Amino acid sequence: MNNIFTLTKIFLKDIINSIILSNKKSRRSLILMAIVGIILVPVVRNFIFYLSKIFDVLIEVQQEALLLSLGVVISSSIIFFFGFFYIISAFYFSKDTENLLPLPIKPYEIISAKFIQVVLYEYLTALIVLAPILIMYGVKTSAGILYYFSALITFLIVPVVPLVFASFIVMIIMRFSNIGRNKDFLKLLGGISALIIGIGFNIVMQRNLTGALSDPEAIEQMLLEGSNSLAAVISSLFPGLNFAIQGLVNYNYMAGMLNMIIFIGITSLIFGVFLYLSERLYFKGILGLSQSNSKKRLLTKEVLKNNTKSKAVIISYTTNELKLLFRTPTYFLNCILMSFIWPIFFLIPAFSQPGGLQNLREVVINMQQTNGSLVIAIGFAIAIFITSTNSIASTAISREGQNYYVNKFIPVSYGIQIAAKVFAGSIIGLIGIGTVLIVSILAFGVNIPIALLILITSLLGILFISMIGIMFDLYSPKLNWDNEQKAVKQNFNVFYTMMIGSLIAGITVYTIYQLEINTVETSILLISLYGFLNIITYILLKSTGVKWYEQLGD
């Protein structure tokens, strides 16, 4: 037990240090955080406002518990999904595990400490998704102190079961993919298959959910039966959730207490089983994970010749960036794969309902005929969103880590290096939106001229958000890390860029919608506006950005 606490403490210290202390330019990151905080205030205010409105409506039909259970279920699903990324990275890709192997620590102790680490991360997710709903419910129903106590317990325990499920899937896959020679590749394969299973699970879940909800008679029946039955259907997805909701709703009764205790009991049981199994699965999955085998083969003259063709510096540098992104499992998962996962996300709702694809197709075709400019704006927004979430440009400097100095002694001007890094992010963004467009043409009947207009306008949007991303990373890069995960996952620059990206995407769609102009006018407007913004950002990057680059490490 002591070991678990010690390990947890070390892991946490490591994380806290890497977020706050390690950054020499912490003053800069504080400034950035403050600015983003101020921008966030109205967003949060609006969210709470709408939430409160929904509650008022539900209270009128005595279905207030519905939102509560929806909150619990949705946050569990989100935690489950993102849990995959966290768990693969924390359990298998982080290098500290290797240092722990020679120490007299049992697998379950390492697993527990790592699990706690992931749970703590997920509290951040729960804080955004679950906490407002829990609090709102308490306020709106004028609940007593006991409710808040139950709510706190729920908040703390809810992430456990989804994460156990996710860990379990990851562990089994890693156990059996950890054989053979090319570890990097297998790590990736393991990671990807876990993700596919995760997405599949989500689709099935949504199908069942919408299946249950799409029958109006059944819903009516449940509504008549009172506020708890609908919640029961939804929350049966993760064992125990139902008890949590019952516990929350009936917090003032003995039965409520009992439900809460059952919820805690079920969760502990599941966690216990998980620990028992992990003792058998975990070490076999990590042993030798960091080894990489060499072929020791003499390269033929021809291979040598093909591998020594000369390229222009900027092309060589960009290619190099892309190679490292594709070959480093953590980067591949967080930067490359992320760009291609969005089309799948967009397809989930289509496939999760019977006839969903057809419905969506009709909506798109209809919109295309009546308001093509809006389709362009949405496509443009998706491109910006994909590029800002792939985090390639916004971690381009951070990913260099302690090797940043290499960039400072090679005879390549900082301007060219920055450009190459922007290109790497933009290329992946472009391929991302390209994939979305191809899927949209084939599945949703988007016509080719519109798709082309989206592609052309997106190019400028992608360049713009990539430059913004690298600007953030140049201003306050995170160079002090000992495993790659920290460069891309625990990096606020990614978050800032995503915020700006979403903001720009939203404003663009809203403006185009309001303007009521045709597709050609929309394209011209987007091209000239973002062309102009690109020139301004480029000038800034050339002057201030290069100066920041020069100051790196000083």
Partner 1 sequence: MIEITNVNKSYTGVEKAVDNLNVVIPEGEIFGFLGPNGAGKTTSIKMITGILKPDSGSIKINGKDIVSQTVEAKKQFGFVPDTPNMFLRLKGIEYLNFMADIYGVPSDLRLERIESMSKRFSMTDALGDQIQSYSHGMRQKIVVMGALIHEPPVWILDEPMTGLDPKSSYVLKEMMKEHVQSNKTVFFSTHVLDVAERICDRVAIINKGKILFCGKMEEIKEHFKSNDSLEKMFLEMTEHE
Q: List the structure tokens of 154.
A: 């729920």
Which is closer to partner 1, CB of 53 or CB of 311?
311
Contact in structure between 433 and 383 (CB atoms under 8 Å): yes
Q: Which of 309, 370, 448, 514 binds partner 1 (CB under 8 A)?
A: 309
Is residue 409 involved in binding partner 1 (CB under 8 A)?
Answer: yes
Which is closer to partner 1, CB of 199 or CB of 313?
313
Q: Helix crossing, 337-352 with 356-370: angle to 10°?
A: 110
Residue carrying structure tokens 């900027």? 314
Q: Which of 179, 261, 304, 524 binds partner 1 (CB under 8 A)?
A: 304
Between CA 195 and CA 178 the distance in angstroms is: 17
Smallest separation, CB 408 to partner 1 (Å): 4
Between CA 16 and CA 280 the distance in angstroms is: 31
Stretch that binds partner 1, among 59-67, 116-124, 207-215, 321-329 (CB under 8 A): 321-329
Smallest separation, CB 301 to partner 1 (Å): 9
Is residue 316 involved in binding partner 1 (CB under 8 A)?
Answer: yes
Per CB under 8 A, contacts with partner 1 among 349-408 are 403, 405-406, 408
Closest Cα to residue 18, out of 552, 554, 486?
486
33 to 62: interface string for partner 1, x by CB under 8 A: ------------------------------
Contact in structure between 461 and 530 (CB atoms under 8 Å): yes
Residue count at the site for partner 1 (CB under 8 A)?
38
Between CA 133 and CA 138 the distance in angstroms is: 9
Q: Which of 219, 313, 365, 503 binds partner 1 (CB under 8 A)?
A: 313
Smallest separation, CB 2 to partner 1 (Å): 34
Smallest separation, CB 307 to partner 1 (Å): 5
Between CA 326 and CA 324 the distance in angstroms is: 5
Q: For residue 321, how many other CB atoms are within 10 A of its CB?
A: 22
Per CB under 8 A, contacts with partner 1 among 273-302 are 292-299
Is residue 27 involved in binding partner 1 (CB under 8 A)?
Answer: no
Length of the chain: 554
Which is closer to partner 1, CB of 273 or CB of 299?
299
Q: How far apart are the first and last CA of the chain?
A: 43
Q: Helix crossing, 2-16 with 107-129: angle to 10°?
A: 50
Alpha-carbon distance values, 500 to 145, 304, 424, 487 (Å): 39, 45, 20, 20
Smallest separation, CB 553 to partner 1 (Å): 7
Is residue 327 involved in binding partner 1 (CB under 8 A)?
Answer: yes
Residue 63 carries which DSSP code?
-
Smallest separation, CB 322 to partner 1 (Å): 12
User: 179 φ, ψ to 5°?
Assistant: -135, 150
Between CA 50 and CA 107 the distance in angstroms is: 46
Is residue 412 involved in binding partner 1 (CB under 8 A)?
Answer: yes
Is residue 312 involved in binding partner 1 (CB under 8 A)?
Answer: yes
Is residue 311 involved in binding partner 1 (CB under 8 A)?
Answer: yes
Smallest separation, CB 406 to partner 1 (Å): 6
Residues contributing to the site for partner 1 (CB under 8 A): 184, 292-299, 303-305, 307-313, 316-317, 320, 323-324, 327-328, 403, 405-406, 408-413, 550, 553-554
